Amino acid sequence: MPLIAPTTEQTRDELALIARWVPLHNLRVIELGCGGAALSRRLVQTRPDCSVLALEVDAIQHAQNLAAPAVPGLRFVAAGAQAIPSPDAQFDLALMLKSLHHVPLPLLDQALAETRRVLRLRAHLYVSEPVFDGPLNEINRLFNDEQQVREAAYAAVQRALATGGWREVAELHFDMPVRFTDFDDYERRMTGVTYADRRWSPGMRDAVRERFEALKPPPGTPFLRPMRINLLQTL
């Protein structure tokens, strides 16, 4: 039976969460939808016996990753989880950090099947997803309502488990602190993404600002983003 735990902690350090279950020694890792690959960079810098192949479909982000200073053990490839450019059984750990819900809905099952294909026997898949809840979510949903895609991503994980190729090691919920200095900082970070066009109309900006000011936490304290981890192991 998997470990299922309620929200009992706050953390931004998902590398430490991964290390609770997966010994981070001499691993071949694949990150699917790596974004800026902050965790993968830290992994190979602190665990030089590990290597990471980081996949990204956003062409702008991928170009930025290639232009950044090279990090030994970290390699970037422009590709998506639904078509992984790798032979079978190559990796010990796969990471999906807030990325599974960005896979197009018709390709979710294919993406998880591809992930299973490239993982070795008794390898792990770490899926970290934001839960559709909380004050920050209530602000974001005005311009980026992800309820359908997040629910679909979780359902896809459950379908993958039902195939018999996986077992669930753990399901864990935690809160991730998210800080903004003010509304301008929030707007800059929300609209500055490269994977989507989030330009706001004046009316949308006014509505988002109003809700931000109504729901922001007290000064000096962060928003708390509810998160869920599903850790799977290949069979």
- Local mean pLDDT, 10-residue blocks, the chain (235 residues): 59 93 98 98 98 98 96 98 98 98 98 99 98 96 96 98 96 95 96 86 96 96 96 98
pLDDT at residue 12, rounded to an integer: 86
- Tokens representing 126? 């770490």
Q: What is the pLDDT of residue 1?
A: 44
Q: In CATH, what number does 3-131+146-177+226-234 get?
A: 3.40.50.150
Burial of 229 (0-12, 13-18, 19+ CB in 10 A): buried
Q: Around Cβ 142, how many Cβ atoms within 10 Å?
A: 14
pLDDT of residue 32: 99
Question: pTM, whole model, 2 decimals?
Answer: 0.93
* Edge-first strand listing for the sheet containing 119-130: 3-5, 166-178, 223-234, 119-130, 91-97, 28-32, 51-56, 74-78
Could you state, in order of their start, the residue ranges of all structural domains in the chain? 3-131+146-177+226-234
Where b means 16+ CB within 10 Å and e means fewer, 47-57 reads beebbbbbbbb
Task: Output the six-digit token pair for 197.
Answer: 């066009």
